[in-house]
C-alpha cells in the first residue's frame, strides 16, 4: 500500500503515540475538553455537535456509483445527553442526524438526509492520580450502536443507494474506547495532553453489506491561555493529530479489496467556557497523509463545532 504525504505537521512523539494505539470518520472535539473524566455524580449535560466532512475522489470513476462509495461531503448533527449516574460512571445517549452528498464527475449526483444510528455508551474511570505536578486520569467506554438510522435513500431512478451512502447502517455494532488525560504536562499547570482511542466493530447490515471496522486515535495537546479567578470562564487551544483506520468493506460475503485505508489528519481545536456549565468548541483538521487504494476515499477536510450545557439532576 503506497502512502501519499501532504502538507501538515507533527512530532516524532505524537506519531509514535498514535501508532502505539492504532490498529472511522473523525468526530473531533466532544462536549468536554478532557475526554477521560466522567461527568460528576448526579450531573447531566446536553450538547449539540455539528460535523462537516469532505472526502477525496475515487480515481477513474465510471458513470455508476461504486458500491463502496463514501459521501464526498457529509454533515452529521449529534445530539448528546449524558448523565453521571454514579461515582466514576456516566451514561451517554447519542442520536445523529446525517446528510450525505455524493457528487463526482461522470457520476450521478445524489443526496439525502435521515436519522443516523443511535448509541448508548457507559464510561468508567478506572484510574485517577493527583500529584503536585498534575492529575492523570484514564477511562474506558463501551456500548452498542443501534440500527435506528435510515437505510432507504434512492437515486433519481428510484434505485437504492449503496449502504455506504445511507445515513444508517442497518447493523448492530459495538463501540469501544479508551481515554486518558494528563493535566500539568512537563510541570506546566495549564498544559494538558488528552488521548482518545476508539473503535467501531461492525456486523452485517443493510444490503448484505458489512462496512469496514473503523478505528480513530486522536491526540490533543492544549494550553489554557486564559482562566478566570473563579473558574467560571476558561479557554483551551492547541494542535490535534488524528489517525483514522478503516478496514475493507464486505458485500454479500465478498471482501471489497482496497476500499479501506488510513488517513493522518493535523489541525487545531479551541474550546471555551463562557459561563458556569456553558461551553463551546471549534475544531479544524486537514489531510496530512493518506494511503491510496483503488476505491478508498480519504478524509481531506474535517470541521466540527458545538455547544454544551451542564446541569444538576435531582435524582
Is position 266 within any domain? yes
* Predicted TM-score (pTM) of this structure: 0.88
**C-alpha 89, offset from chain centre:** 21
Query: Is the pLDDT reported for residue 7 higher than 90?
Result: no
Band of pLDDT at residue 16, cut at 50, 70 and 90 = very low
**Residue 166 located in a structural domain:** yes
DSSP bridge partners of 107: none
pLDDT digits (tens, 9 = 90+) for 202-247: 999 999 999 999 999 999 999 999 988 877 899 999 999 999 999 9
DSSP line for 238-292: EEEEEEEEEPPPEETTEE-TTS-EEEEEEEEEEEEEEETTEEEEEEEEEEEEEE-
188 inside domain: yes
Confidence check: pLDDT of 28 > 80: no
Q: What is the mean pLDDT of residues 254-269?
A: 95
Q: Order of strands across the sheet with 209-210?
A: 209-210, 250-251, 254-255
CA distance 166 to 113: 9
Q: Please, what is the average pLDDT of the chain?
A: 88
Chain centre distance of CA 102? 20
DSSP 3-state of 12? helix
The predicted pLDDT at position 107 comes to: 67
**Domain-embedded: residue 304:** yes
Domain of residue 120, residue span: 3-290+297-309
Is residue 8 pLDDT above 90, yes or no?
no
Tell whether the model's pLDDT for residue 14 goes beyond 80. no
Report the pLDDT value the prediction gives residue 104, as an integer from 0 to 100. 77
Beta strand 191-201 pairing with 250-251: unpaired
Which residues 6+ apart lie within 8 Å of 175 measured at CB? 119, 121, 141, 142, 143, 144, 145, 198, 199, 200, 201
* pLDDT band per the 50, 70, 90 thresholds, residue 146: very high
pLDDT tens, 80-137?
A: 999 999 999 999 999 999 999 998 777 678 999 999 999 999 999 999 999 888 899 9
Grid cell 506519531 is found at 15
Strand bridging mode 89-102 / 191-201: unpaired
Look at residue 31 in the predicted model and tell me its pLDDT: 77
CATH number of the domain that 92 lies in? Answer: 2.40.128.130
Whole-number Å distance between alpha carbons of 45 and 99: 25
Q: Is 314 a member of any domain? A: no
Domain count, the chain: 1
Q: How far apart, in whole angstroms, are the C-alpha atoms of residue 306 and residue 280?
A: 6
Name the residue among 22, 103, 18, 5 with its Cα closest to residue 61.
103
Q: Cβ–Cβ contacts within 10 Å for residue 134, how many?
A: 19
**244 assigned to some structural domain:** yes
Q: What grid cell was written down for 137?
A: 486520569
**What is the rounded CA–CA span in Å between residue 290 and residue 300?**
9
Would the pLDDT of 24 be above 50? no
- CB count within 10 Å of CB 1 equals 10
Amino acid at each position: 500500500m503506497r502512502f501519499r504525504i501532504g502538507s501538515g505537521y507533527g512530532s516524532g512523539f505524537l506519531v509514535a503515540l498514535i501508532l502505539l494505539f492504532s490498529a472511522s470518520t473523525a468526530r473531533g472535539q466532544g462536549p468536554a475538553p478532557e475526554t477521560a473524566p466522567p461527568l460528576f455524580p448526579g450531573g447531566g449535560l446536553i450538547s449539540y455537535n455539528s460535523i462537516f466532512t469532505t472526502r477525496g475522489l475515487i480515481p477513474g470513476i465510471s458513470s455508476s456509483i461504486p458500491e463502496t462509495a463514501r459521501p464526498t461531503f457529509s454533515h452529521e448533527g449529534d445530539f448528546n445527553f449524558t448523565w453521571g449516574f454514579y461515582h466514576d460512571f456516566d451514561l451517554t445517549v447519542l442520536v445523529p442526524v446525517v446528510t450525505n452528498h455524493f457528487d463526482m464527475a461522470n457520476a450521478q449526483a445524489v443526496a439525502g438526509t435521515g436519522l443516523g444510528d443511535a448509541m448508548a455508551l457507559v464510561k468508567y474511570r478506572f484510574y485517577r492520580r493527583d500529584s503536585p505536578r498534575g492529575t492523570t486520569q484514564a477511562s474506558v467506554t463501551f456500548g452498542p450502536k443501534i440500527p435506528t438510522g435510515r437505510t432507504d435513500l434512492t437515486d433519481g431512478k428510484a434505485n437504492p443507494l449503496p449502504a455506504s451512502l445511507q445515513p444508517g447502517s442497518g447493523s448492530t455494532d459495538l463501540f469501544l474506547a479508551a481515554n486518558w488525560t494528563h493535566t500539568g504536562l512537563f510541570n506546566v499547570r495549564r498544559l494538558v495532553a488528552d488521548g482518545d482511542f476508539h473503535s467501531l466493530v461492525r456486523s452485517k447490515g443493510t444490503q448484505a453489506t458489512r462496512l469496514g471496522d473503523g478505528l480513530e486515535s486522536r491526540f490533543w495537546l492544549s494550553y489554557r491561555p486564559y482562566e478566570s479567578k473563579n473558574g467560571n470562564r476558561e479557554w483551551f487551544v492547541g494542535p490535534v493529530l488524528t489517525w483514522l483506520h478503516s478496514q475493507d468493506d464486505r458485500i454479500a460475503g465478498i471482501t471489497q479489496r482496497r476500499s479501506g485505508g488510513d488517513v493522518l489528519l493535523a489541525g487545531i481545536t479551541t474550546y471555551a467556557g463562557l459561563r458556569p456549565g456553558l461551553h463551546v468548541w471549534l475544531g479544524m483538521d486537514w489531510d496530512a497523509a493518506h494511503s491510496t487504494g483503488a476505491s478508498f476515499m480519504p478524509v481531506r477536510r474535517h470541521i466540527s463545532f458545538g455547544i454544551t450545557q451542564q446541569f444538576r439532576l435531582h435524582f
